[in-house]
Amino acid sequence: MIFKSKNTCLNFVDGVGFLQFPSLSELDFINHAFSTRIGGVSEGAYKSMNLNFKRGDDPEKVTENYRIFCRAAGFDFDSLVSSSQDHNTFVRRVTMADCGIGITRPHDIQSVDALVTNEPGVTLVTHYADCTPLLFADPEKRVIALAHAGWRGTVGKIGEVVVEKMEEDFGCDPSDIIAVVGPAIGECCYEVDTPVFEQFASLTELKPAYFTKSLGRGKYLINLKETNRRMLMEAGLLSINITISDVCTKCNSGLMFSHRAHGAQRGGLIAMMSIKE
């Protein structure tokens, strides 16, 4: 397995592979990780670190994968709170009372694509397999957030919605927020047809020429990561505080689950983040 990246670190602990981002690792009040396929107990199409209960895998194996991943990456299994994603832009504020939701307890809200908290002892969990992870940390207010930005969430400006929630609920200043646009399908591989392209072309304030490219015959390439970066800057984040991971999930499909590479029968990746106690 060959892994090359200038701004994303691949770590192995007890045989479990996970990614971290230097700009977040420098913040001493948080822990964060992004999963890979490496180190779990799932089999077949889900081999091996599948962390999605909804893909058809054995739930007991998925639960064991969470326990293994938490031990390796330094999270408390009992502190996890999972999103319930459907490509919308609802941001849920979570507390310790929500721990276990989506992991050992059923989801109580069925449309949650972003999570935010300021409480230690809560680990946020969001899910991916080509869509764009957005990770946020405010070291001044000690607030963290995770968001799932597929193409619909990106066009719906979920990144801006998260920043607004951090401002409204916790008094965060966008210029203090450190953000990572995480591993996702890259502009090299994300081909769409005209209806999806038109949704991105409508984001005129972001200058779509910088994140769309025509291939002819009604086909286009979209740069989801750059679209989200520009959106975060529109929300008030400083360019210097935004990292874009250079990892494409489809190009690295041996290491990461990718919907475009593997199809519908596959496992899922997660982002995790918590505030240290």
**Structure confidence by residue, pLDDT tens digits, 153-184:** 999 999 999 999 999 999 999 999 999 999 99
Q: What is the DSSP secondary structure assignment for residue 188, as one 8-state letter? A: T
Measuring CA to CA, which residue among 276, 277, 229, 274 is closest to residue 115?
A: 274
**Structure confidence by residue, pLDDT tens digits, 30-49:** 999 999 999 999 999 999 99
217 belongs to a structural domain: no
Neighbours of 163 (CB within 10 A): 27
Which helix H or strand E contains 146, and what residues bound it?
A: strand 143-149
Q: Can you give the pLDDT at residue 170? A: 98
Which helix H or strand E contains 228, and what residues bound it?
A: helix 224-234
137 belongs to a structural domain: yes
215 belongs to a structural domain: no
Mean pLDDT score across all residues of the chain? 97
CATH of the domain at 260: 3.60.140.10
37 belongs to a structural domain: yes
Measuring CA to CA, which residue among 206, 132, 141 is closest to residue 168?
A: 141
* Cα atoms found within 13 Å of the Cα of residue 4, Cβ hemisphere only: 2
Look at the pTM and tell me if it is higher than 0.95.
yes
Q: Can you give the pLDDT at residue 219? A: 98
232 belongs to a structural domain: no
Peptide bond into 79 cis (omega under 30): no
**Hey, what are 32's tokens?**
């964060």
233 belongs to a structural domain: no
- Residues comprising the chain, all counted: 277
23 belongs to a structural domain: yes
Q: Can you give the pLDDT at residue 207? A: 98
Distance CA 119, CA 275 (A): 7
226 belongs to a structural domain: no
Containing structural domain, residue 42: 9-184+242-275
Could you give the number of structural domains in the chain? 1
Tokens 């194996």 belong to: 61
Percent helix / strand / coil, the chain, rounded to 5: 30, 30, 45
Q: What end-to-end distance do the CA atoms of the chain give, in Å?
A: 36
The vertex-149 CA angle with 215 and 167, nearest 5°, equals 135
**What is the chain's pLDDT, residue by residue, as a tens digit (277 residues)?**
679 899 999 999 999 999 999 999 999 999 999 999 999 999 999 999 999 999 999 999 999 999 999 999 999 999 999 999 999 999 999 999 999 999 999 999 999 999 999 999 999 999 999 999 999 999 999 999 999 999 999 999 999 999 999 999 999 999 999 999 999 999 999 999 999 999 999 999 999 999 999 999 999 999 999 999 999 999 999 999 999 999 999 999 999 999 999 999 999 999 999 999 8
